[in-house]
Amino acid sequence: MSGTQIKSGMLVVHPNKPEWGPGKVAKVDREYVWVFWRDANGGEVKKIARSVITLETAPDQSDPILDNLPPLLDSMGAPVGLPRRQTLPQAVARFLGRFPGGFHDPAYLGDMHSGERAYKEAAHRECVERFGGGRYARLLAENRAQLVEEVKRTYRSVNLIAVFEKAALTDALESIEAALPFLECLGRVIATETVSEETFVPYLKSVCDLPTPRGRVATWPIATVIPFLMQPDRHLFLKPSVTEVAADVLGFNLNYDPTPNWLTYSRLLEMGRVYFNGLRELRPRDMIDVQSFFWVACGGYDRN
């Protein structure tokens, strides 16, 4: 197809650079086309002279990586790159550099004191034992004090949330009456087989409405830890210091806001789905593996 028909937002291919994969058009004028190429190394938006190269429209106008890029134009309409970005093959290579066996590497699996999976998987099993099989609903109806104790044991059993967050949430749960909306909404999230705005928005509001006698409770780690541990096949844990970096490095538009909200969480879930599918050759089991991939491949060990 003629280059004169290329428009902003379209996906194109370069006739001389098939290794770049498809690209997303950021901007077009009479002389140039600016394109972000999915598989090209580096995060720049490349400037293509229309008189020299005739780009072709991609046969598929949807791509999970390119569909989720951050904005490629600044507030003045000028093309901007993603300077820290890694391609998926680069991120996989970095992950395999630490764990050659991928998600089934013994060092990746680890134990209760090392590695990436074993301790999270153990916490998941404990969470299911506490709340699965309808036990959460029964405790909510019959013994709320015991339910609160089980909730506390769940987030205390794993080092996913910070000490100050554990303390703040523990204080917030001291009044069962004040915590009841949170407990009820968490129960609905646990009982729902799919993640939906209908159940998750009230849950996030209930987290934000918890009393705060000793520190902020409305944080992403607090909001996501129990859903993640209970249902790692569908929920993701959001730790800002890790997740924001991962989105930046992978070039994913997270729409991050520090206050728990549905838009950010739905974007996180989409990010999880995109990379779960993109990592199929490594045989991921669930979002525990995806969350661990974000941490390892996006420099988590570099910050230790």
Query: pLDDT digit string (tens) for 110-124?
Result: 998 899 999 999 999
pLDDT for 214: 76
Contact 292, 102 (CB under 8 A): no
- Predicted confidence (pLDDT) at residue 141 exceeds the cutoff of 80: yes
Residue 209 and residue 276 in one domain? yes
Burial of 77 from C-beta contacts in 10 A (0-12 / 13-18 / 19+):
exposed
Structure tokens at 111: 């134990």
pLDDT for 1: 38
Among 49, 83, 117, the domain-final residue is 83
Give the CATH number of the domain where residue 62 resides: 2.30.30.140
3-class DSSP state of 73: strand
Residue 131 and residue 156 in one domain? yes
- Predicted confidence (pLDDT) at residue 192 exceeds the cutoff of 90: yes
pLDDT for 304: 55
pTM of the model: 0.93
Residue 105 and residue 123 in one domain? yes
- Predicted confidence (pLDDT) at residue 2 exceeds the cutoff of 70: no
Among 27, 48, 83, the domain-final residue is 83
Among 83, 117, 150, the domain-final residue is 83
Element (H, E) at 49: strand 46-49
pLDDT for 215: 81
- Percent of the chain at pLDDT > 70 equals 98
Dist. CA 82–CA 59, nearest whole Å: 25
Residue 129 and residue 243 in one domain? yes
Residue 22 and residue 152 in one domain? no
Tally of structural domains, the chain: 2
Residue partners of 298: CB distance under 8 A and separation at least 6 = 86, 91, 242, 245, 246, 249, 250
Give the residue-averaged pLDDT of 199-203: 98
- Predicted confidence (pLDDT) at residue 100 exceeds the cutoff of 80: yes
Give the residue-averaged pLDDT of 175-181: 96
pLDDT for 299: 86
- Predicted confidence (pLDDT) at residue 36 exceeds the cutoff of 70: yes
pLDDT mean across residues, the chain? 94
- Predicted confidence (pLDDT) at residue 28 exceeds the cutoff of 60: yes
Alpha-helical (H) ranges within the chain are: 88-98, 106-109, 118-131, 135-142, 144-156, 163-172, 176-191, 197-208, 220-230, 240-250, 262-278, 287-297
Q: Which domain holds residue 226?
A: 89-303
Query: pLDDT digit string (tens) for 251-271?
Result: 999 999 999 999 999 999 999
